Structure 1
Amino acid sequence: MSFGAGVPTVGVDHLTVDDFLLDVREDDEWEAGHAEGALHIPMSEFVVRYGELTEAAPQDGRVNVICRSGGRSAQVTQYLVQQGIDAVNVEGGMHHWEATGRPVVNDKGESGFVL
């Protein structure tokens, strides 16, 4: 884990299938393809839907925040850290996730792609 520009980050290669993943991309991006098991709360709705995260996130675990390339997720990570939540930005986002061979699925569980 590193702290790029004050925001804690983690590389895709340091994540396991058991790690909690929060995807903050918009609905069309999510529908095209996402990491299986991730929680989807678009950044544009994040503050209103914040309670969904607090209900779903592990109480003693880290929230790994991901978007397409890392910009939006860095902003959400910074917000979560300010709220006292152990959160990190996934470096390179879903583009890096897909490039490293991690599975990307659509809502039907079929192979998806990153917009």
Structure 2
Amino acid sequence: MFSLFKRIPSMSTADLQKEGAKEWTVLDVRTPAEYRSGHIAYAKNVPLNKIAGFTQKGDKKLAVICQSGMRSKQAAKILSKKGFDVVNVRGGMNQWRGTTKGGK
């Protein structure tokens, strides 16, 4: 009965910043406008409403981020059900202290 609710692992933005693009494929599930306003340089924008169609070449683990961690948690659940090795980035871009690309 308990196996019906698979727990999605999470990581902090600090851990993501330490490990970076070498270890992770980072998916930013915010809207394109939010993404353009500032994003992690190596993150790929795949909005939450398109995440079910996501495919990936290679076997890198997925780290999913949004603005606060709520949409990314939903996306991580969807990706996990599709068989991806995925983590949710807690706190999202609100907690990101690294450099960003785009925005003002």
TM-score range, shorter chain: 0.7 to 0.9
User: What does residue 103 of structure 1 align with?
Assistant: 99
Q: Which residue of 2 aligns with 1:7?
A: 8
Alignment check: 8 A CA contact 2:51 2:78 kept: no
Q: 1 CA distance for matches of 2:50 and 2:81? A: 18
TM-score normalized by the length of structure 1: 0.75
Q: Which has the higher helix share?
A: 2
Counterparts of 1:1-115 in structure 2 under 5 Å? 6-15=7-16, 16-17=19-20, 18=22, 19-48=24-53, 50-51=54-55, 54-55=56-57, 58-59=58-59, 61-97=60-96, 101-106=97-102, 112=103
Query: Matches of 2:75 and 2:29 in 1, distance apart?
Result: 8
| Secondary structure class of the residue paired with 2:9 | strand
Matched-pair contact (CA < 8 Å) for 2:9–2:87? yes
- 1:20-50, Cα deviation, whole Å (9 max, x unpaired): 21100001100100000111111122224x1
The match for 1:109 is none
SS at match of 1:47: helix
Aligned residues: percent identity?
32
- Give the whole-Å Cα distance in 2 for the aligned partners of 1:39 and 1:28: 13
Structure 1 residue 7, shift from structure 2 partner = 2.1
Residue 3 of structure 2 corresponds to which residue in structure 1?
A: none
Structure 2 length normalisation: TM-score?
Answer: 0.82
Partners of 1:35 and 1:45 lie apart in 2 by 19
Q: Name segments (4+ residues, structure 1) moved above 4 Å.
A: none
SS of residue paired to 2:10: strand
Supply the distance in 1 between the matched residues of 2:51 and 2:84 (Cα, whole angstroms): 15
RMSD of Structure 2 on Structure 1 (CA): 1.7
Between the two proteins, the alignment pairs up a number of residues equal to 95
